[in-house]
Amino acid sequence: MVSTRQNVILLTVDTLRKDALGCYGNKGELAPFVDSLEDKCIKFTKAQSIGPYTQASFPGILTSSYYLEYGREKKLSSKRTLISEVLKKAGITTAGFHSNPYLSDFFGWNRGWDIFYDSMDIDVTPEVPYVKGDGINKKVGEWLSLYTKGKEYRPFFLWLHYMDVHEPYVPERKYIDMVDASVSISQDEMFNLFKSVVLKRDVSDKGTVRLLKKLYDAHVREVDDYIKEFFRILEKLNLLKDSVIIVSSDHGDEFNEHGGLSHDGKMHSELIDVPLLIYDYGRAKGEVCHTLVSNIDLSPTIVHLFGLELVKDFEGHSLFPLGDYPKKGCFGEAIDKVGQKEKDTDKPVYFYRENDLKIIYRESENIWEMYNLKEDRKEVNNIIDTSSMADDMKEKVRPRIRKMG
Amino acid sequence: MSQEVEKRCGELVGKSKEVVRETFEKFKPSEMAVTWTGGKDSTTNLWIVRQVCLEDNIDLPPVITIDEGDAFTEITDFLIRISKKWNVDLEWLCNFDVLKCCQSHLGSTVKVKDLNERNQAELKRIGFEEASFTFEAESYAGNHLMKTVVLNKFIEENNIKTLFMALRRDEQTARKSDEYFTKKEGGYLTPEHTRVSPILHFTERDIWDNIKLHNIPYCPLYEIGYRSLGARSTSNPGVVGVPAWEQDIEHIPERAGRRQDKEKAMDRLRKLGYM
């Protein structure tokens, strides 16, 4: 799967849970278009994010390095190498389009892009505090049609990121209807739920949490339409057959699986499991890969797809060729915070997964947890005191804890 | 100045005048206003609108400026001086209620409960739920109350349908595809109106070329190194002592001296629930 003359597109969806997609077992038909791609994709069933929220995850995706590698940085460290910098140096055109403030110009993510659109200059409303997928598509479409008209065609790397699944969960009526037409709630009521329930992480009422999940599902249904529209743009410009498209998310979202809402500093599967589909028109035929992989591997994979040499700063491994991918565990780290404001006194939290075993260490309370994901998919049965593997697993995380300490 | 530059300025101004004339045809002049900050862009913009009015014998629409409570005296002086010179009846807008609550002191605390009903409703609308905020330019609550609210209130009370503004396409990449006419949808506390940007196609270099060509007045702060002027406490010179037009305009971002990028990102984070 080396494609030196091809384009590579990385399409990420903020906050998209793996289990929201039908191709990962969801029965709600929330993403019919993404599901329909399955036949032309390599589907990774055990993709992990290196962190449970954007700042903890995206260093993995775009710089193949761990979140706390350079300390508690507010802005992206200049020591990190962005995939855009690597590719631009190699003569590949790089373009990024998104609407996530944590990935904006201000936070230092604009390095190495020929085109970088972070939308921060657009007025947004409290109910929809980002540029929606159709707005991102419009920008991307304009750029692509101009670019493909150019005389000398050079391969490009395009990254686009949709925010539409992220809270506040205030979806349009038509998407709520597609998920559950019996839900009757006004925009103001949805926004009030965001303020009084989501922001306060109040899970006391199970019915409200269920309702929030439905609104989240409606957002997923909506973003599926934008992904579909984006593929139409590629088709129209005749780019589908010349592009490898990687579809993933930065992290999931919690609906009281472990006593919380949204995406705080926790390492459970509802936040850490991410979808990962690699679409390669005409080549991949509905392959499924059960290898444990991480989003820290995405940048090395992109480098490989462009036929470029390994980047020594990158900590991940290329997913291709699949046979050469090393058998390894997956690691992640974040700051153990509840509620969204991260304080300097908050301590790190780490996870490490190997095969079906996952260990989590929360420094603030010096607590270890371990789960056997084969028998306990929901991670409710802590086996740290009973498993004979506990000490081995602890040893795998300790070097990292010492390094950070 | 080379003939080439003169020719280019002629074309740029010609295009702007077309946009202004189209506006006067499409909308009622009695429902228009021109915004003016005293900066180089909005002064150029006003100069062009005024030229069209003089040429076509149309009354200049009301001209407004917003006082955020943190203005450079050099800008205030400039506005007073040029409005006299150009015979402009300049309307000064300000959210006095906020100023009253902080005794006009930057850095002092404004208690939300002391604000009037409208200001409290405005803070609620943008999801600001703290009991107080520090009065400073470009802060989340302050920026909204001192700029956005003042403008919306003016539009609403004067039944304004069209606003001439001085956006430039090159100013930020995010603005690359802006149109000359953008309709702002109305909603709760936000009146519907159309924003017209006649100088959208000017670059920073074009602005200076045109200012020099036509002897358009500019604020003296540009002479000592400022390239972009906002509030006093959040604007910094590009290269101190080097006039704006002699700086490396093509390579160093114009707004590098301003704190707005940070505030915009922070505003978004707050709305997403991260603060």
Lowest mean pLDDT among A109-123, A358-372, B4-18: A109-123
Helix, strand, coil distribution of chain B in percent, nearest 5: 50, 10, 40
Mean pLDDT of chain A: 93
A146 interfacial to chain B (CB closer than 8 Å): no
A vs B, Cβ pairs < 8 A, gives 66
pLDDT in tens, A362-390: 999 999 999 999 999 999 999 999 999 99
Q: Above 50 in pLDDT, residue B175? A: no
* Domain B3-91+155-271 coded CATH 3.40.50.720: no
Residue linked to tokens 């472990």: A258
Residues of chain A contacting B271 with CB distance shorter than 8 Å: 124, 126, 129, 168
Read off the pLDDT band of B160 (50, 70, 90).
very high
**Cβ <8 Å between A340 and B265:** no
Residues of chain A contacting B264 with CB distance shorter than 8 Å: 101, 104, 106, 120-121
Q: What residue segments make up the domains of chain B, in order of their start?
A: 3-91+155-271
Do the beta carbons of residue A328 and residue A287 sit within 8 Å?
Answer: no
A54-82: burial string, b at 16+ Cβ within 10 Å, e else: bbbbbbbbbbbbbbbbeeebeebeeebbb
B51-67: burial string, b at 16+ Cβ within 10 Å, e else: ebbeeeeeebbbbbbbb
pLDDT of residue B174: 44
DSSP state at residue B190: B
Give the pLDDT mean for A239-254: 96
| Residue B88: both structure tokens together | 């402009």
Q: Which residues pair with A44 in a beta bridge?
A: A276, A289
- Distance in angstroms (rounded) separating the CA atoms of residues B220 and B232: 14
Q: Above 70 in pLDDT, residue A143? A: yes
Q: Above 70 in pLDDT, residue A3? A: no
**Cβ <8 Å between A130 and B272:** yes
Give the pLDDT mean for B79-99: 95
A198 interfacial to chain B (CB closer than 8 Å): yes
pLDDT of residue B176: 45
Give the pLDDT mean for B48-52: 97
pLDDT of residue B257: 56
Give the pLDDT mean for A186-206: 93
Q: Which residues pair with A350 in a beta bridge?
A: A333, A361
- Could you tell me which residues come within 8 angstroms of residue B51 by beta carbon, excluding any fewer than 6 positions away? B13, B17
pLDDT of residue A2: 46
Residues of chain A contacting B261 with CB distance shorter than 8 Å: 104-106, 120
Q: Above 50 in pLDDT, residue B7? A: yes
Q: Above 60 in pLDDT, residue A22? A: yes
Read off the pLDDT band of B173 (50, 70, 90).
very low
B261 interfacial to chain A (CB closer than 8 Å): yes
| Percentage of residues of chain B with pLDDT beyond 70 | 93
Question: Which of B167, B168, B121 has the alpha carbon at shortest distance from B144?
Answer: B121
pLDDT in tens, A260-308: 999 999 999 999 999 999 999 777 788 999 999 999 999 999 999 999 9
Q: Above 90 in pLDDT, residue A247? A: yes
Domains located in chain A, CATH noted: 7-326 (3.40.720.10), 347-405 (3.30.1120.10)
B155-187: burial string, b at 16+ Cβ within 10 Å, e else: beebebbbbbbbbbbbbbbbeeebebbeeeeee
pTM of the model: 0.71
Q: What are phi and psi of A157, to 5 degrees?
A: -110, 120
